Structure 1
Amino acid sequence: MKAHTGPVGLISNPGSGHNRNHFERIRTRIGQCPQIHHIVTDSPADIKPALTELAARGISVLAINGGDGTASAVLGELLESGLFATSPLIALLPGGTANMNAGDIGISGSLRKATSHFCEWCESGRDTTDKLAQRTLLRVVTVDGQPPLYGMFLGGGAIIQGTEYAHREIHSRGFRDDFSLALSTLRTVWGVLRKEPLYNRHVAINLFLDDADLAQHNTLILAMSTLQRLAFGMRPFWGQEPGDIQLTLIEQHCTRFARTFFSIIRGRPSNNAVPSAGYISHNAQKIRIELDGKLNLDGEILVVKGPVEISASMSLKFLKL
């Protein structure tokens, strides 16, 4: 048995997806666990003071109760600020809407069950045997002089229409987690297959992988991630190169879209998933893209015009329960 010792800190965003309906119940359960120092944030401006307080307390475990955007904002501040001499062990609770990050490297189950499971872990021997995973984050710089953004998934092309559809038609009806992401993915694929103009807008992207030369693509779908498992078990990356950032790009002229797409998201790309047919997958440590359009960074829409620099952060250690 490998036990993890030291104080535990938890940062909550009560305005995130599942927390909006269940936060008082979650707060009560956390309050019953004296090992946890709980800080509730009301805005992104509260994140740095919260981390400063937890660093002063010498925490060795940092739990985050919020969505993918909250987790990335907290972890980005942790990486940029240098407040911790040694990075704490990270525990992600599924308190948001999509919870894709927690689904890969966090505490599984509903928010109530995940919170109870984490509290029980804190109250017991804190065994970490076979419960640890390491991941980097995407460090995204869109404009010179602006603070970098962080996330674990970056998407473009038809993913933007799928995201906007999810915000407009799915999340507003109360659907959350993998189910909501599955619905938005199916709607996107249906739109592409029917050649609906909204879903078939190509995005001209100039792509630089590590130190390779420029490659130009008329892009239908762009996806990058440092996760191993995306929503509802998708594993759409099959590049073999070294590098923490996984990239898949599907071009506008791709052939046999439906059959090839579903083979890709199952993690078993068909023989048609090759560059000559419009399907590219590659791993890298740094990526530069140039475009005029929108990107989805962990569910948040970014409007960009010009170069975007994406690099892998230092690796963090996550608790999986």
Structure 2
Amino acid sequence: MSSVMSSLPQINNSLAAAPDPAAIGLIYNPHGGRFRKHPARMQDLLSALPEIRQIRASNQIEFEQAVMALVQAEIRWLIVVGGDGTLQGVISCLFDHLAPERWPEITIIPAGTTNMTALDLGVNEQAEQILIRIGQFLRQPGKIKQVTRPVLRIEQTGKKNVYGMMLGLGLIARGVKFSRSQIKQLGITGNIFTVLIVLRSLAGTFLGRPQPEWAPVCIRQKDETGALSERVYQFAFVSALEKLLLGIRPYWGREPAPLHATFIRQHSKHFWRAIWPLIAGRGHHLKREDGYISYNAASIELWLDDEYIVDGELYHASSQDGPLTITADGPVLFRVP
């Protein structure tokens, strides 16, 4: 694998040569938010790209089959039409079969319910506009932006590795679990969907509800002496992205390492006054002793018995299986048309 320091984000703009359509593969998730809202339009745009090999996939088994088919075809550019969950499924399959240095360049077209990774990479347009531009690019190549990002490799003894861009705990996991069961059924996607999740989670905190759906998360970590100490957090996350939902950057560590981690203690002081600095990425004045912790690292170990989410997908950790180890892997090269 590449060194940790090489996985720090980089951005390059280069003039692309005319792409060989035979070296391009496309995976799309027909159950993504954009497909549910505009199925005919999305299918028409995909049909306008007949020179690109396209594979439909909507679950982990189908992602595996699609990735294997495209790997065997030795594609050099992989276009993923879907949201964070679709990209996470594809990336996990790629890690299972190829070293990152042998991967194709990846383009993510934001067509899911949440599209945090695409927004962090600078993909700000709707999926339809990007598909049209890819068709134009095939006919007349021009400059293209390349962005690298590390990837979280999440390991626990006896379980299959999970790969993704953002891991969330506590109220973050509770909010996503709630959204999957209720908000998502309303057909709401994009930033509105994200705002509702955040408001729902903060409402639970504000009301102080004792129900399990609002429970904080208990995490044990090694202290300076190597002993395990337990703390209770309202929420915590570890991210390989520079920005999260709605473009916020709620971490302020200064260490030269690729993963950003933030932990907010339960009953942290002046929490409501700290929300704006957290959202605005101005948390440098927030104090560890008041319950606000943020740092960068190459690897993090957490002991917990709870749910966690990775790019919107729900998992469960058990301390009986040892620590949940989160390590920087990659980096992955993204092509932003």
- Equivalent in the alignment of 1:265: 279
Residue 169 of structure 2 is aligned with which of 134, 152, 156? 156
User: Which SS does the other structure have where 1:183 is aligned?
Assistant: helix
Partners of 1:292 and 1:304 within 8 A in 2: yes
- Equivalent in the alignment of 1:146: 159
Which structure is higher in RCO with an 8 Å CA cutoff and minimum separation 6?
2
Gaps in structure 1 of 5+ consecutive residues:
none
Q: Which structure's residues are more often helix, by fraction?
A: 2
Counterpart amino acid of residue 79 in structure 1 = F
More displaced 10-residue stretch of structure 1: 191-200 or 144-153? 191-200
Residue 72 of structure 2 is aligned with which of 56, 59, 71? 56
**Percent of aligned pairs with the same residue?**
29
1:212 and 1:13, CA in 2 relative to 1: closer, same or farther beyond 3 A?
Answer: farther
Offset from partner CA, 1:249-308 (integer Å, 9 cap, x none):
00013011012122111111262x110110000111111111111111111121222121
Using the size of structure 2 for normalisation, the TM-score is 0.86
Structure 2: distance between partners of 1:152 and 1:295: 13
1:177 and 1:119, CA in 2 relative to 1: closer, same or farther beyond 3 A?
Answer: same
Structure 2: distance between partners of 1:312 and 1:188: 28
Structure 2: distance between partners of 1:84 and 1:300: 22
Q: How does 1:1-321 map to 2 (within 5 A)?
A: 2-4=15-17, 5-6=19-20, 7-82=23-98, 86-105=102-121, 107-128=123-144, 131-142=145-156, 144-198=157-211, 201-208=215-222, 214-269=228-283, 271=285, 273-306=286-319, 307-321=323-337
Per-residue deviation at 1:137? Answer: 1.2
More displaced 10-residue stretch of structure 1: 24-33 or 72-81? 24-33
Per-residue deviation at 1:217? Answer: 1.6
Structure 1: distance between partners of 2:44 and 2:99: 29
Counterpart amino acid of residue 313 in structure 2 = E
Cα root mean square deviation, aligned: 2.4
- Matched residue pairs, number? 317
Counterpart amino acid of residue 101 in structure 1 = T
Structure 1: distance between partners of 2:226 and 2:90: 32
User: Which SS does the other structure have where 1:18 is aligned?
Assistant: helix
Gaps in structure 2 of 5+ consecutive residues:
1-13
Structure 2: distance between partners of 1:140 and 1:37: 31
Partners of 1:179 and 1:232 within 8 A in 2: no
Structure 2: distance between partners of 1:156 and 1:166: 15
Per-residue deviation at 1:200? Answer: 5.3
User: Which SS does the other structure have where 1:315 is aligned?
Assistant: strand
1:227 and 1:208, CA in 2 relative to 1: closer, same or farther beyond 3 A?
Answer: farther
More displaced 10-residue stretch of structure 1: 275-284 or 110-119? 110-119
User: Which SS does the other structure have where 2:303 is aligned?
Assistant: strand
Partners of 1:244 and 1:284 within 8 A in 2: yes
